Structure 1
Amino acid sequence: MHVKYLIVGAGPTGLGAARRLAELGENDFLVLERNAYAGGLAASFRDSAGFTWDIGGHVVFSHYEYFDRLIEEALDGAFLEHMRIARVRIADRWVPYPFQNNIRHLPQDMQWECVEGLMPGKRPEAQPVNFREWIDCVFGAGIARHFMVPYNFKVWATPAELMGYRWIGERVSVIDLEMVVRNIILSLDQVSWGPNNVFRFPLHGGTGEIFRRMADRLGDRVRRSTAVVGVDAESRTVRCANGEVFTYDHMLSTGPLDLLVLEQVNAASETLRDAARQLARNSVYVAGVGVDGMQEDDTCWMYFPEDTSPFYRLTNFHNYSPNNAALPGRSRALMAETSWSAHKPEKLDTLMDKTIEGLVNTTMLRNEERDRILSTWSIAVDYGYPVPTLGRDAALATLQPWLEARSIYSRGRFGGWKYEVANMDHSVMQGVEWAERMLLGKEETTYRV
């Protein structure tokens, strides 16, 4: 079968591309999805006890009017809107997020250590060469020791010395010494920073509801349970695990870029394969714990830099929508995320037990509530975050031009391998902008090769 535009992956990027092609009147396309469901890493699942879980703590916020309209159309108004309430668990207390802007909540000795590290002459002044040095230059020794270094290792499962820092942009709130001191003396909190301080969430079905509906509206142009296993870049032919073969004029690949080069494209040279091996990632274990009974807690999500828990982030998923819980208003859904890698190994078979211990240690679950756990659910995601390592940009500069010269466009969270444009809205818009490039000749602005 031949199609003009072949899209591999029915996640946010692939569905965004397909939707835009159809909007522009192009019907000669097909989406191949290896899973039996659409959504990719933005899919949601309902467990046997009636709890709904996402693959991590997704929230819907946007940099794009197009994405906003897409969400409103897909959900037909069936969403909730929240003001972000986020906190950091440290020193047996809760500190408002961003941590570095609200250190007045720390014990006084920790406050002083953080402020002292920000004083003139205390921070390194040389140009940093990696993320670890950037942390010291921007935040000083105190904030680095208590939060930035341990937290980022828990998230990335990668030493900060191996990471670049050019990706940061709006991802990390930088710091102002005058503001820090003012907040301490005047007992002020600064909590509104960031693009996700207001976010939306589907009323029913979790984040995956958005992409289920998008896929359903594309009908038989989305083929589920159709895994691509081989790509002949010269003849523009794709071979699938079920024996089907497709030819194409242009291909959008939204799966992991390293697997595309190392396992699928048959003409990849050793130079390309070496570049693909430079791409690093972490893996993430998402644990859902459904509990009978409520607590007074309006927090959306929380960060955990200390070793009192294995998880780096916890989401009060019942606060996103009460329908995420099996008994709305009477049970709560706690969703924890723990990373692992060769730098930070984890024993997955014991990680649920460690997660529950961590919930107790951090006051998110009372010890007596262990017997009131209604459900435990988990998913181990091999590809969690694309890590912005020092060698990433050079690898992409080798891989992407070679692929594009053969009409293969690799986009999306792991297709593009750029964490800084891997939010849900970014991912959808990478697909939208690719479609507009194909049909209208417009320049892509979200993802740049």
Structure 2
Amino acid sequence: MKYRYVIIGAGPTGLGAARRLSELGEKSFLVLEKNSWAGGLASSFTDSKGFTWDIGGHVMFSHYDYYDKMIEDVLKGEYIEHLRESWVRILQSWVPYPFQNNIRYLPNQEKWECVRGLLPGERSEDKPNNFLEWIHSIFGKGIAKHFMEPYNYKVWATRPENMSFSWIGERVSVVDLRSVLKNILLEQDQLSWGPNNKFKFPLKGGTGAIFKNLAETVSEYIKYDTNVAVIDPQAKTVTDTKGNSYEYEHLLNTGPIDILASRWLATPSTQLINAAQALKHNSVIVAGIGLSSSKPDSRCWMYFPENDNPFYRITNFHNYSPNNTPQPGKGRALMCEVSYSNDKVIDKNNIMREVEDGLVNTAMLKEEDRKDIISRWSINVDYGYPIPCLQRDEALKVLQPALESMDIYSRGRFGGWKYEVSNMDHSVMQGVEWAERMINAQPETTYRIS
């Protein structure tokens, strides 16, 4: 069957595109989804014990009126609003996030190392060539040593010297000596930095409830359990693994662009294959530890730069909604994220034991709390985060124009491969803006091809 638009993937970007096409009166489109559910990396799952888990620590905050109105429409007010409270576990103590703004909590020796690194003449004034050099030029050697270097390696599973810094934007709070000294001497915290200092979360069903509800509004256009096998840009067809073929005029891909370019295209050029292979990503295991016991703890999430544990972040998921535990408002749901790659190898067979031990090592649990663990849930996410590696921008300059010349558009966290515009709101709006470009010739603003 022929469609004007075929969309690969019913995650945030694909659903954003589908919703907007429908709103604009378009009826000739189809969404192909490999899973039997919608949501992609923003899906949620309920385990056998009744705990709800997300694929990582998603929160709702927004840069767009359209997205805000969409959330209100699909959740119908069924959400909770939170003020962010996040901390960094370091040197057997806790420092409020952002770490670099609150080093007054450190022991004196480490506090001095961080301040010394910010003094005049201590930081390089040369233009940085990579993320590591950017860290040292902005934060100095002390903050780099104690937090920025170990934490970023832990989350990206990539050495900072192999990464660009073009993605930073509002993702990292920069710091100045005046503010650091003021906070130390006046013993005051600086906590409200960042766009997610206030966020929303669905009352029921985890983050996945957003996209489950959104998918229901365009359900007639979604074909589930459909895996892409081949895309023929000459014939303008997508063939799935069952042999079904779908003809299109314009194709939106929201799956990984490296897979699209090197595996799905019927006859990919050597140039496209090489560009696809230059892209890097990490993988993530999300490990959920559910406990029957409760404990007062107002924190939303915590960061872990040190090596006495395998995770880079833990979310107190029971704080996001009382319905994330089997008995609403009772018990604890500790959602832990562990990254890995060829450069950061982990023992996947023993990761749950290492996570559990890490919870004890970091004082998230006491040894005697182990007896209260009633659920151990995990999911292995092959494509966790697109890494802004040094080769990324040049690779995308090859891939995106070549694909668009074939009427193939690639958007979303891995479809566009730009971490700096892959929040949930960004991802949805990439789909929305693509649809508006197709129907009304409006330029896209969230995802730009340079």
The alignment's TM-score, normalised by the length of structure 1, stands at: 0.99
- Which residue of the partner structure matches residue 177 of structure 1? 177
Q: In 2, Cα distance between the equivalents of 1:219 and 1:406?
A: 28
Query: 1:234 & 1:333 partners in 2: Cα distance?
Result: 50
Q: Within 5 Å, give how 1:283-298 maps onto structure 2.
A: 283-298=283-298
1:267 deviation in Å?
2.3
Q: Which residue of 2 aligns with 1:35?
A: 35
Q: Does 1:87 pair with 2:74? A: no
C-alpha displacement at 1:308, in angstroms? 1.3
Aligned residue type for 1:201 = F
Matched, 1:145 2:148: no
Post-superposition offset of 1:437: 0.1
Give unmatched runs, 5+ long, in structure 1.
none
Query: What is aligned with 2:442?
Result: 442
Deviation at 1:105, TM superposition (A): 0.4
- SS of match in other structure, 1:56: coil
Determine if the alignment matches structure 1 residue 420 to structure 2 residue 420: yes
Instruction: Provide the residue aligned with 1:317 in structure 2.
Output: 317
Q: Which amino acid aligns with 1:67?
A: Y
Separation in 1 of the partners of 2:332 and 2:24? 43
Query: Partners of 1:35 and 1:309 in 2: how far apart?
Result: 32
Matched residues, number: 449
Once the two structures are TM-superposed, the CA of residue 219 in structure 1 deviates from its matched residue by 2.0
Partners of 2:66 and 2:93 in 1: CA distance: 40
In structure 2, the partner of 1:345 is 345
Q: Does 1:408 align with 2:408?
A: yes
Tell me which amino acid in the other structure corresponds to 2:274: D
The amino acid that maps onto 1:45 is F
Task: Give 4+ residue runs of structure 1 displaced > 2 Å after superposition.
Answer: none
Which letter maps to 2:113?
Answer: E
Instruction: Please name the residue that 1:362 is paired with.
Output: 362
| In structure 2, C-alpha distance between the alignment counterparts of 1:376 and 1:433, rounded to whole Å | 40
2:427 alignment partner, SS class: helix
Identity across matched positions, percent: 59
Instruction: Give the equivalent residue in structure 1 for 2:223.
Output: 223
Q: 1:387 maps to which residue?
A: 387
Q: CA deviation at 1:44?
A: 0.3
Tell me how far apart the structure 1 counterparts of residues 238 and 180 of structure 2 sit (CA, whole Å). 56
Partners of 2:18 and 2:327 lie apart in 1 by 36
Write the distance in 2 (CA, Å) between the matches of 1:329 and 1:64.
32
| Unmatched 5+ stretches in structure 2 | none
> Distance in 2 between the 1:381 and 1:145 partners?
29
Note the 1:22-421 alignment, pairs <5 A.
22-421=22-421
The structural deviation recorded for 1:220 is 2.2
Q: 2:203 and 2:335 mapped to 1: Cα distance? A: 17
SS at match of 1:426: helix
User: CA separation in 2, counterparts of 1:329 and 1:34?
Assistant: 35
Q: Aligned letter for 1:115? A: V
- Secondary structure of the 1:69 match is helix
Output the CA distance in 2 between the equivalents of 1:299 and 1:245. Answer: 50
Secondary structure of 1:87's match? strand
| Deviations, residues 197-218 of structure 1 (Å, cap 9, x unaligned) | 0000000000000000111121
Post-superposition Cα deviations, 1:225-262, rounded to whole Å, max 9, x if no partner, equal 01111100111110001221000000000000000011
Per-residue displacement from partner, 1:84-128 (whole Å, max 9, x unpaired)?
000000011110000000000000111000000000000111100
The Cα shift of 1:358 comes to 0.6
Residue 4 of structure 1: aligned partner: 4
**Cα distance in 1 between the residues matched to 2:274 and 2:153:** 26
Distance in 2 (CA, whole Å) between partners of 1:407 and 1:22 is 20
TM-score by length of 2: 0.99
Q: CA deviation at 1:296?
A: 1.5
Q: CA deviation at 1:187?
A: 0.3
